[in-house]
Amino acid sequence: MLHVNNAKDVMASDTSVAELGLLVAPGAVELGKLIDAHLSRWAKEAGRDEDTFIIPSECPRFSSGDGKGMIKQTVRGDDLFIITDMGNYNCTYTMFGHENYMSPDDHFQDLKRLIQAASGKAHRISVIMPMLYGSRQHRRSYRESLDCAFALQELQNMGVENLITFDAHDPRVQNAVPIMGFDNVMPTYQVLKALLHSFPDLKPDRDNFMVISPDEGAMNRNMYYASVMGVNLGMFYKRRDYSRIVNGRNPIVAHEYLGESVQGKDVFIADDIISSGESMLDIGYELKRRGANRIFAYATYAIFTNGLDSFDKAYKEGIITGVFGTNLTYRSPELLSRPWFHEVDVSKYIAYFILALNNDISVSNIIDPHEKIQQLLAAHYGK
């Protein structure tokens, strides 16, 4: 049986369900090119003449703001993978002479336009949507919309068979589409690889290292890091003021710590998103007060909606040693230039996933990289 990690052999085999094609939506061009580069390289190594798997497409806008999706070559019978970035706030279009920045709603409409442009002629359509649309509005309180669940149902009704996302805010939203393929992938191996590469002097053992969950909602992802590394796990509990609502949510009164002493230890904190970053910094200051050594923060989506000044200050004060974030969504040039920011490249991981689906190969070894992490740690300790 072929193993997806043997990409060259998979490419050389004749087991694909259909001709592979990539559609890259506006906003995901950088990530799409990186993924295509891996797939094209594997194809060439397997003796196939494939310069690119990207099918030319675009989503132009009229001056009134109306848009359309265009695919510029045939996709009949293709196994289509549409790559989109719901969080790219740097894309613009002109409406009535004014420049508008694209919101997640705009990106979702462009995704649907590309699906419509395929006109039902593709063999199969899969969507690579790292930042899940509407994922922060995943449950109902009182009279509220259910954006994420409804969007997933809409994609299913349009013929999407598989959706691959990364570190969903609440993966239980897949219950809205129980018969559609839904894979929530965690780039744990890639994160640890970047961490150990950036800080080779790190000693990720029980005596020198701890994993801390920033809140109860992030416990599962931090529990996994702690278990595969064999270190202790602590957590913070967000005590909120439920009598008030500020910016759409109940404000945090205090962060209460539960766990063993962090005195003298390096600390790793993982979350799905750094938005304003206030919670992460509050936790950083509290851990320093408790005697923690270096503090490393990670978020799959490091979007920094309130700017970078507070993290610059924390870095200068020695509170935060490094912040890790993936290239699964847009990162501003200002963020990429910061000495405290370290990027985690997930493009090869996605390329493996696409190759596996295109050849109907099990993805279980991709989703759970426990063995690769153990090899990574063994190599690090062997230095």
Whole-angstrom CA distances from 227 to 168, 188, 198, 224, 370 are 21, 12, 22, 5, 10
Query: Would the CA dihedral through 246, 270, 261, 282 be positive or negative?
Result: negative
Q: What is the C-alpha separation between 45 and 150, in angstroms, rounded?
A: 42
To 10 degrees, what angle do helices 370-381 and 219-229 make?
A: 50
* pLDDT value at residue 7: 83
Name the nearest CA neighbour of 214 among 277, 260, 155.
277
* pLDDT value at residue 85: 97
Name the nearest CA neighbour of 162 among 175, 172, 152.
152
* pLDDT value at residue 218: 86
* pLDDT value at residue 253: 65
Q: Are 323 and 302 in contact (CB under 8 A)?
A: yes
- pLDDT (tens digit, 9 = 90+) per residue, 301-338? 999 988 899 999 999 999 999 999 999 999 999 999 99
* pLDDT value at residue 277: 87
User: How is residue 319 annotated by DSSP?
Assistant: S
- pLDDT (tens digit, 9 = 90+) per residue, 88-117? 999 999 999 999 999 999 999 999 999 999
Can you give the pLDDT of all 383 residues of the chain as single tens digits?
445 667 878 887 878 899 999 999 999 999 999 999 999 999 999 988 889 999 999 999 999 999 999 999 999 999 999 999 999 999 999 999 999 999 999 999 999 999 999 999 999 999 999 999 998 777 777 788 899 999 999 999 999 999 999 999 888 999 999 999 999 999 999 999 999 999 999 999 999 999 999 888 888 999 999 999 999 999 988 776 666 776 666 666 667 788 899 999 999 999 999 988 888 998 999 999 999 999 999 999 999 988 899 999 999 999 999 999 999 999 999 999 999 999 999 999 999 999 999 999 888 877 778 889 999 999 988 75
* pLDDT value at residue 15: 86
* pLDDT value at residue 177: 96
Predicted TM-score (pTM) of the model is: 0.91
* pLDDT value at residue 304: 93
Q: Are 209 and 231 in contact (CB under 8 A)?
A: yes
Q: What is the C-alpha separation between 343 and 276, in angstroms, rounded?
A: 19
Q: Are 62 and 97 in contact (CB under 8 A)?
A: no
* pLDDT value at residue 1: 43
3-state secondary structure 1-45: CCCCCCHHHHHHCCCCCCCEEEEECCCCHHHHHHHHHHHHHHHHH
Within 8 A by CB and 6+ apart from 183, the residues are: 162, 163, 164, 165, 353, 363, 367
* pLDDT value at residue 8: 77
* pLDDT value at residue 365: 74
3-state secondary structure 162-228: EEEEECCCCHHHHHHCCCCEEEEECCHHHHHHHHHHHCCCCCCCCCCEEEEECCHHHHHHHHHHHHH
